[in-house]
Structures are given as structure tokens and as C-alpha cells.
């Protein structure tokens, strides 16, 4: 499936453009299924926006400018306010989940392949600490810890459960036909 035919594609282009307006913007990276070339019509959008070390507070204070005005719901995840890293998330009006992490090099963010720099300085990825790919179990454990600490709204978990159930149901439905 071509990216431009996916329902998330216009949202990816929009947040990419909006990220350029953040104070101290250095680079915007797409990670996850869009970077891997495996995105489908149920894929969410996962991004990193690298900000200059001196501009994180200003950029974080302007994070709402990343999402469109018709977003259904939005929330932030920033469990450690001493680190210059946080994620601004939202559900678009057509139920696409966007997870946009803002970070600085000083925060020592970790990055696994695949990723693509879609705006800004390609050399900015040198600021990230390389890591192995995150397993589904590791992600689930991380989300459980966030939820238990009160940093992850139930909507986030339920959305993930819904998408996994929908994928499974479609697989079963296609096998039956």
C-alpha cells in the first residue's frame, strides 16, 4: 500500500510541517511502521522532534501547536520533569493515534532502527543513543509502569487494545473469505 493512500498520511505531513514551527527545532524523525515501510491503514504515527538544548522549555510550552484543532483527545507523558523529554499524544478526528516525543540531546534519548529524518538536520540522529529494537513485551511493560504511576490515560491502552483486536478480527475475516 502506498503511504499517500493511508488515512494517517495527511496527518503525518501535517505534524511534520507543524514541528518546524517549534522553538529550537533541529529535526523531525519518523519511527515505527512508517519508517519501516510497513504502515497500513491502521498504523499510528510515531515521531521524535529534536529540540536545541536551550529551547526545550519553550518548545514544550508550545507542544499544543503540533496537533490540529479538531483532535478528539490529547494527553502528555512526561514522568521525569527533570529530563528534557516528553511525549505529546493525540487522537485525530478520524481516530489516528499520533505519538510525538519532544527531546533534546541533553536528555540522551535512545533510538532504534528503523527511522527517517523527515525535516531538519540529518546529522541530528548522532545525538541519539543507539538501542536495539523495542519488543512488544518491553513496550507493554513500559506502558504498564506508566499507567501504574498515573502517567498513561486509559484511553491510550484501550486504543492499542482496539487496534490489535481489529487487526486480529480482519485477519480472521479475510481467512474465512
Reported as a single tens digit per residue, the pLDDT across 60-118 is 999 999 999 999 999 999 999 999 999 999 999 999 999 999 999 999 999 999 999 99
pLDDT at 1 > cutoff 60: no
Instruction: Render the burial of 51-90: b for 16+ CB within 10 Å, e for the rest.
Output: beeebbeebbebbeebbeeebeebeebbeeeeebbbbbbb
| DSSP secondary structure letters along 18-86 | HHTTSTTEEEEEEETHHHHT---TT--EEEEEEE-GGGHHHHHHTGGGGS-TT-SEEEEE-S-TTSSEE
Report how far residue 138's alpha carbon sits from residue 155's, in angstroms, rounded to the nearest whole number.
Answer: 20
Structure confidence at residue 136 as a pLDDT band (50, 70, 90): confident
Closest CA to 48 of 107, 101, 11: 101
pLDDT at 166: 95
Q: What pLDDT shows up at residue 2? A: 67
**Residue 45 near residue 133, CB atoms below 8 Å:** no
What local confidence, expressed as pLDDT, does residue 59 receive?
98
Residues whose CB falls within 8 Å of the CB of residue 48, separated by 6 or more in sequence, listed in order: 27, 28, 29, 31, 100, 101, 103, 109, 111, 115, 128
Q: Which residue has the higher pLDDT, 25 or 1?
A: 25
Closest-CA residue to 44 (of 130, 143, 163, 171): 163
Q: What's the confidence (pLDDT) of residue 73?
A: 97
State pTM to two decimals.
Answer: 0.92
* Signed CA dihedral, 127, 131, 133, 134: sign only: negative
Amino acid at each position: 500500500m502506498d503511504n499517500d493512500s493511508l488515512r494517517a498520511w495527511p496527518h503525518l505531513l501535517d505534524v511534520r510541517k507543524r514541528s518546524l514551527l517549534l522553538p529550537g527545532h533541529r529535526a523531525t524523525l519518523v519511527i515505527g511502521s512508517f519508517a519501516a515501510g510497513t504502515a497500513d491503514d491502521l498504523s499510528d504515527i510515531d515521531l521524535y522532534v529534536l529540540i536545541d538544548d536551550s529551547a526545550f522549555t519553550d518548545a514544550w510550552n508550545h507542544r499544543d501547536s503540533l496537533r490540529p484543532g479538531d483532535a478528539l483527545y490529547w494527553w502528555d507523558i512526561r514522568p521525569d520533569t527533570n529530563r528534557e523529554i516528553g511525549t505529546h499524544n493525540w487522537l485525530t478526528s478520524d481516530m489516528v493515534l499520533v505519538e510525538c516525543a519532544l527531546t533534546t540531546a541533553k536528555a540522551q534519548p535512545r533510538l532504534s532502527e528503523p527511522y527517517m529524518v523527515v525535516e531538519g538536520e540529518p546529522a541530528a540522529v548522532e545525538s541519539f543513543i543507539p538501542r536495539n529494537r523495542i519488543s512488544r513485551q518491553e513496550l507493554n511493560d513500559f506502558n504498564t509502569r506508566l499507567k501504574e504511576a498515573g502517567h498513561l490515560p486509559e484511553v491510550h491502552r484501550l486504543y492499542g487494545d482496539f487496534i490489535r483486536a481489529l487487526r486480529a478480527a480482519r485477519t480472521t475475516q479475510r481467512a474465512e473469505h
